[in-house]
Chains A and B, each alone.
Chain A
Amino acid sequence: MKITDLTALELGKKIRDQDVSVAEAVKACMEQIKSREEQVHAYVTIDEAGALKRAEEVQKLIDDKTLTSPLAGVPVAVKDNICTQGMLTTCSSKILGNFKPVYSAEAVKNLEKAGAVILGKTNMDEFAMGSTTETSAFGVTRNPWNPEHVPGGSSGGSCAAVAASECFYALGSDTGGSIRQPSGFCGVTGMKPTYGTVSRFGLIAYGSSLDQIGPIGKDVADCAAILEAIASADTKDSTSVARDRYDFAKALKKDVKGMKIGIPSDYLSAGLDPEVKEAVLAAAKVLESQGAVVGQFDLSMVEYAIAAYYVIASAEASSNLSRFDGVKYGYRTEQYDGLHSMYKKSRSEGFGAEVKRRIMLGSFVLSSGYYDAYYLKALKTKALIKQAFDKAFEKYDIILGPTAPTTAPKLGDSLQDPLKMYLGDIYTVSVNLAGLPAMSVPFGCDTKGLPIGVQLIGDCFCENQIISAGCALEQGRRGE
């Protein structure tokens, strides 16, 4: 068995047991990167020298028992919108093409405290805007299962890197499904925590009220361990929540006996690929066979989620991205005539088409005269969606559904029709609007051989139930 075939926790144990050194683990990843990266292109930045140097430091701390965390010494890839001090953080955009942050994100600091070794930064849709990782200014990432297909997005680089064993686990960010959808497309496990669980300090904002950093791993156990490492109450983030407990790994041992699982019938209607539908129903059977109680119900509001999401996320993005202006850092146009020309040219040349589309959309919905009709209405819709979930969680512990309506589309298919691409987010965006935790767990493949992800959605702060259910699904899948 190759080192890179191990899960993060398996490698962590081998490192603690001195079966594998941290440097060996880093080198194994670098070998894998060399063999796969030309095709997959999961990374924007690879820091081999830095990772090897860090491996040495971490090894010492493990050897003298200073570091005992389950992830100590395990190499990780970080999405390129999460700040890493002194290491390029580009958001896959030309406008931040040269940007090295002066500080690291709180989630990265937490990982480093747990002994993580950062291999590099992963490709993404520019500023996390996109569902395919095709809007990156630094080239597309391809799906490791089939290079003709996209890996999904926006955390496509992180998910592809995990799927291609170019790292042991990765950090992603999820604003409308950006961890779960590519996890589903790449056959890996990805989780979007309850809003406020992981500090957003150092996450370059797209839609501030929706963004969450989350784990991407080879299985549920890895995700639980990663979440334990990155989650924290952070006084630097006003939206951070101090939770009572952070012991997510504990939930791995719990079974699903008596767990009430609801499938929204609105999630199984038109637009859903029949093979994906089949996988969802099969997943329900697996949970049922382990003692869970499964039922169908009408969630409602589903048809409004995408519109509300794109209005709110774009509105926030239009303001969040205004700081990229060529004045302080990042790209500045070569030739300009005065301040306004500098702003205009730097931003016109620095941002890609999808980002510009969303900045324009966001600026429009916040304009005086349109604010009430679009932005306020979207906020009201958001509240109604939250209410619909609240009602569902009175009856059910977990909501089960597809992660995306289809498996990974072919490269180039989605960008031709942005509206169609937006519709692909139908099962993921409402989770962000309601601030809920959710996880995509791989559950089989379609006839094309592409992975299918099923989604487990929990009530706020109920990650543990998702983890227990996810574990049960994994066991059922392996038993097949």
Chain B
Amino acid sequence: MSKQYEKVIGLEVHVELATKTKIFCGCTTRFGGEPNTHTCPVCSGMPGSLPVLNKQVVNYAMAVGLATNCKIHQYCKFDRKNYFYPDNPQNYQISQLYLPICYEGSVEIETASGKKTVGIHEIHMEEDAGKLIHDVWEDCSLVDYNRSGVPLIEIVSEPDMRSAEEVIAYLEKLRLIIQYLGASDCKLQEGSMRADVNLSIRAAGAEELGIRTEMKNLNSFKAIGRAIEGEYARQVELLEEGKPVVQETRRWDDNKECSYPMRSKEDAQDYRYFPDPDLVPIVISDQWIAQIKSHQPELRTEKLERYKKEFDIPDYDARIITESKKLADIFEATTAICKKPKKVSNWLMVETLRLLKERGMDPEDIRFTPGHLAQLIELAEAGTVNSTVAKEVFEKMFDANIAPDDYVEEKGLKTVNDEGALRSVVESVIAANPQSVADYQKGKEKAIGFLVGQTMKEMRGKADPAMVTQLLKELL
């Protein structure tokens, strides 16, 4: 009979920082671009070139560290991690081993089974590598150093997680903190946030840790969930068969839903870490830390509470909106203009989320401006357009970033408030639908809905339904 096993999971999360320039040179960090156009002698490893640290990287790393309750090493250094691979032009990566900038932090996560604290072992700064492109037709490999030297932080958790649910809650929490700090956009698909999962299993209740494996190539929260379950099953099977788990790095193939070994501990490389002599130690004063602290923006938890208090919106709405920094920003900016928080919240909660889902987009991809949303709310509130038209205009605004005022004007979508014009249409509808008129007069209240609909159709949506109902009742 099989025993009960417990998963023990720790995460190494790489986050690309949102600095304008690279960590050790002045090249842009912009994504894309023709290969090797965002490069210079420093980030392409030319002989004689030297790295100079971008201070903003330290600011961001400290901001993330402070927001995750880390201590700061006020004397920290960069080390070289030596290994040969063509995506790394110097054949060493500048990283931090001996004195990482942040250490001993924690974040609180919440899952269906309650709240829990996940420890953070350390956060260190390092440079990203370039990209290799394998051309199978030409049978050669090419290298693009545009990404080489883009700043990263690596957040190393303690092995405190016990389920895929906790792992995802932890990642969501980190993502929100970092997005709120503006330190990164944290997009898993684009690789600006990457998570490696360290997983081992042990008999439930056991103290000792099992042999762990490290899983790479996890490009979505769903893939992470599947990889954890897959690796758990693989390790349980091994132990049940009396075979050992081998400490190794494995690559997850999300299409085949299984993992393959990349390298095992036996052929693990000796990285020959040593302090980088080209860079001077970073000395972080109390004052510098205080400055970062004082500039720390409001984080999600505080924002959530404030929204409920200040704007009087329901907990559910506040949670959904604050789950994305972008949505929260739009909410606040729009509310500041139109002073109608509940209306703004409704547009975000219903129409915006619906369209995001339909279009397969993230909140970060939203293009309409708070000014335009406020305009649309004003138009709807003033009765200038009815709710159906408003939704139509919103969709247009969502897709093409049009200005609602101009669009309504241009397309002639204003509600017709001219009673005379409306009255004649209502009269013709009454004349054309004697059966419904008869039904209504026999007491069938519903029949009036049909007549309202017919009138709106004749008006091409531009009438105020309340006014139409009023007139119908009057004339019947």
Contacts and interface: CB of A to CB of B under 8 A. Distances in A.
Contact of B91 (A235, A323, A363, A368): A323
A323 B47 contact: yes
Contact of B280 (A99, A205, A239): A239
Interface stretch (A71-79, A101-109, A405-413, A438-446): A101-109
B82 interface: yes
Interface in B269-289: 270, 272-274, 277-280
A208 B278 contact: yes
A244 B161 CA distance: 55
B82 A238 contact: no
B270 A101 contact: no
B44 interface: yes
A238 B86 contact: no
B48 interface: yes
A101 B48 contact: yes
A119 B50 CA distance: 26
A343 B277 CA distance: 25
B47 A236 contact: no
Given A238-B53, A322-B92, A102 B41 contact: yes
A229 B154 CA distance: 43
Contact of B270 (A96, A207, A318, A368): A368
B97 to A, nearest CB: 11
Interface string A322-360: 111101110000000001000100000000000000000
Contacts of B203: none
Interface in B3-50: 41, 44-50
A327 B44 CA distance: 11
A315 to B, nearest CB: 6
Interface string A292-327: 000000000000000000000001101100111101
A237 B46 CA distance: 14
A13 interface: no
Interface string B274-313: 1001111000000000000000000000000000000000
Interface stretch (A62-70, A153-161, A195-203): A195-203
A45 interface: no
B442 to A, nearest CB: 87
A103 B41 contact: yes
Interface in B162-208: none
Nearest to B52: A238
Interface of B is mostly: loop
Contacts of B272: 318-319, 363, 366-368, 371
Contacts of A208: 277-278
A204 B47 CA distance: 5
A201 B47 CA distance: 10
Interface in B110-163: 141, 143
B48 A203 contact: yes
B82 A237 contact: no
B46 A101 contact: yes
Contact of A315 (B52, B274, B279, B280): B274
Contacts of A363: 272
Contact of B90 (A105, A201, A322, A339): A322
A424 B187 CA distance: 58
Contacts of B45: 323, 328
Contact of A238 (B47, B143, B273, B280): B280
B2 to A, nearest CB: 39
A327 B86 contact: yes
A248 B432 CA distance: 105
Nearest to A89: B47
B51 interface: yes
A101 B92 CA distance: 21
B21 to A, nearest CB: 14
Interface in B65-103: 80, 82, 84, 86, 89-92
A138 interface: no
A323 B89 contact: yes
Given A208-B278, A322-B92, A323-B91, A236 B50 contact: yes
A366 B274 contact: yes
B259 to A, nearest CB: 24
B277 A83 contact: no
B84 A325 contact: yes
Contact of A319 (B44, B47, B92, B279): B92
A427 interface: no
Contacts of A145: none
Contacts of B53: 238
Contacts of B91: 322-323, 325
Contacts of A105: 48
A209 interface: yes
A375 interface: yes
A91 B279 CA distance: 23
Interface string A124-147: 000000000000000000000000
Contact of A235 (B52, B82, B86, B143): B52
A102 B92 CA distance: 22
Given A209-B277, A367-B270, A327 B143 contact: yes
Contacts of B50: 200-201, 236-238
Contacts of A236: 50, 52
Contacts of B86: 325, 327, 339
A96 B47 contact: yes
Given A101-B46, A102-B46, A319-B82, A238 B274 contact: no
B24 to A, nearest CB: 9
A210 B234 CA distance: 52
22 contacts: A83-B47, A101-B47, A103-B46, A201-B49, A201-B50, A202-B48, A202-B49, A204-B48, A205-B278, A209-B277, A238-B279, A318-B272, A319-B80, A319-B82, A319-B92, A322-B92, A323-B91, A324-B47, A327-B143, A328-B89, A339-B86, A375-B274
Given A201-B49, A239-B277, 4 more contacts: A204-B48, A324-B47, A339-B86, A367-B270
